Amino acid sequence: MDIPRARKSTPRKYVFGGVAALLLTVASVAVARMEPAAPRLDGSSMWTDTVKRGTMLREVRGPGTLVPEQVRWISATTAGRVEQILAQPGSTVVPGTPLIVLSNADVQRGALEAQRQLVGAEAERSSLAATLENQRLTQESAVATVRAEQREAARQAAANHELAEKGLISRMEMQRSQDRAEELAARLRVEEQRLRFLTESKAQQMAAQQTQIDRLRGLATFQEGYVNSMRVMAGTDGVLRELPLQEGQWVTPGSPLAVIVRPGRLKAQLRIPETQARDIVVGQPARIDTRNGIVSGVVARIDPAVQDGSVTVDVALQGEMPRGARPDLSVDGVIEIERLPNVLHLDRPAYGQPGGVVGLFKVEAGGRTAVRTDVRLGRSSVNTVEIVSGLREGDVVILADMTQWDKSQKVRLR
């Protein structure tokens, strides 16, 4: 008789173990493929702005100072020692106001020597004029004497000719009188030429002597100018800004003695970063903040050189100056470059360069999350930047520095 054999069954614990292993494997793969949890940020403290479409004003900003439009430097004409200081910085001066008194014995000696030479040359001219006039008169007398003798000899020769024709005198006597008349005529011509030469020579010698006198007079005037320059005067009206000298100090020719400015006419000198100065041109409008008010102006000059990474731009101020405006006052200036109509723009983010691509976090609908978006920036201004692509009008963007979340594509805002 057959006896039925009982079937062996797999223990339940093995089945459960296999299922658990399978679930663990699936979970591991899922966890490995999961993105890291989005970081949470305080949305109320985030600096954000909304993309707008409209006219964007491009401006550049730079610090600067107010400087006088008219500055008069007074330099030393000659070397000298400072004997007196007659004015102090801050004094109001007019043309002719004495500022400094210098002294230099060599300059005084040179002026006296030049004056002595001039007086000597003038005395020599008087002596020369008398000598030449005396020579001319002597020669004129000689011409008169020879002319009288020549006329007498001519008359005698004519009379002897008549007598010789009548046979009253010999022919030899007649020839002798004619030779005498011819000799005196030749002498007369020579003496007259000598008189003309003396007359012309007198004019030439007197002209040469006058030229010498004029040269010495110019030298004396020049030396006298050196003497007068040692009493330094203000050449224009204004305010004495600098006088960096002390009594007893020795100055050399060309040394700066004083600076006079006209405080009523000021201009602003702005230092614009070289990367922003390329679009500035003469004539562009500007606004200057003096801390006591805003003054309008226009760009008057752009320095062609770059110094310490900035370009100096002169702004001519227009209108009335605010109270307290004075030379060397620190100011801030804004220059209007251009107006861009109908462009997307927003406030400048904390990072990113104009013309480059920057990753900005765009706030999604509901304001709970923000997603990283690649945005291409265009032209920039002081506070705004043009959006070329990556955003649309009405998008809200986080502008704060988010570089610490570079590895995150999304952040949560709470």
Quick check: helix, strand or coil at residue 400?
coil
Name which of 227, 215, 212 is nearest 112 in CA terms.
Answer: 227
Predicted confidence at residue 32, as pLDDT, reads 45
Predicted confidence at residue 215, as pLDDT, reads 93
Predicted confidence at residue 413, as pLDDT, reads 78
Predicted confidence at residue 220, as pLDDT, reads 92
Contact 349, 373 (CB under 8 A): no
Percentage helix, strand, coil for the chain under 3-state DSSP, each rounded to 5: 35, 35, 30
- pLDDT 10s digits, 155-189: 888 888 888 787 777 788 888 888 888 888 888 89
Predicted confidence at residue 11, as pLDDT, reads 56
Distance (Å, rounded) from C-alpha 44 to C-alpha 50?
15
Q: 413 - beta bridge partners?
A: 41
- DSSP per residue over 126-146, as a string? HHHHHHHHHHHHHHHHHHHHH
Quick check: helix, strand or coil at residue 70?
coil
Q: Which contiguous run of DSSP H or E holds residue 103? A: strand 98-103
Residues of the chain with pLDDT under 70: 1-38, 42-45
> Interhelix angle for 105-165 vs 171-229, to 10°?
170
- Name the residue with tokens 């002169």: 314
Q: Exposure of 18 by Cβ count < 10 A (0-12 exposed, 13-18 middle, 19+ buried)?
A: exposed
The DSSP bridge pattern shows strands 294-307 and 285-289 to be: antiparallel
Quick check: helix, strand or coil at residue 326?
coil
- pLDDT 10s digits, 294-340: 899 999 999 988 888 899 999 999 878 888 787 788 999 999 988 88
Predicted confidence at residue 24, as pLDDT, reads 65
Percent above pLDDT 70 for the chain: 89
